[in-house]
Each structure stands twice: as structure tokens, then as C-alpha cells.
Amino acid sequence: MARPPAGLCDTCRHQRVVRNTRGSEFSLCERSRTDPAYPRYPRVPVVRCAGYEPHEAPHARRAG
């Protein structure tokens, strides 16, 4: 089953998508493991987050 867009979390390296026994998917914030300021399951869509870090962009090139 499709989950609702999680906003910033969907492109954040700290997101982990977890699935429950009924097949629903949730966006989990792995920062919550080390920092209680972050909820385990943030209310989505997240539009602003101080802890946001984009995924490594494998094709990105540093412009000289």
C-alpha cells in the first residue's frame, strides 16, 4: 500500500521506511535513535527539519 509523501524525509539519508504487519509503510527517522529531539515517526509531510541531510548524490560532481 502506498504511503503518503513524507516531504523532506523522502530525500533524507536518515529516513528508513518500515512496514507493519498489515503492509502499511511508515517513514521512520533514524536520528530519533540518538537524538530525542527527533520523533521516531515524524508527522508527514515534513517541510522543515534542522536535521535534514540529503542522500549522497552519486552522480553529483563538484563544480570547479
Contact 36, 22 (CB under 8 A): no
3-class SS at 32?
A: helix
CB of 24 to ligand SF4, least distance (A): 18
Q: What are phi and psi of 51, to 5 degrees?
A: -95, 5
Q: Min. distance of Cβ 58 from ligand SF4 in angstroms? A: 19
Torsion of CA 34, 26, 16, 44, to 10 degrees: -70
Choose the binding region for ligand SF4 from 8-16, 18-26, 55-63 (rule: CB under 6 A): 8-16
* Site for ligand SF4, residues 32 to 61, rule: CB under 6 A: 38, 42, 46, 49, 51-52
Rule CB under 6 A: which residues touch ligand SF4?
A: 8-9, 12, 14-15, 29, 31, 38, 42, 46, 49, 51-52
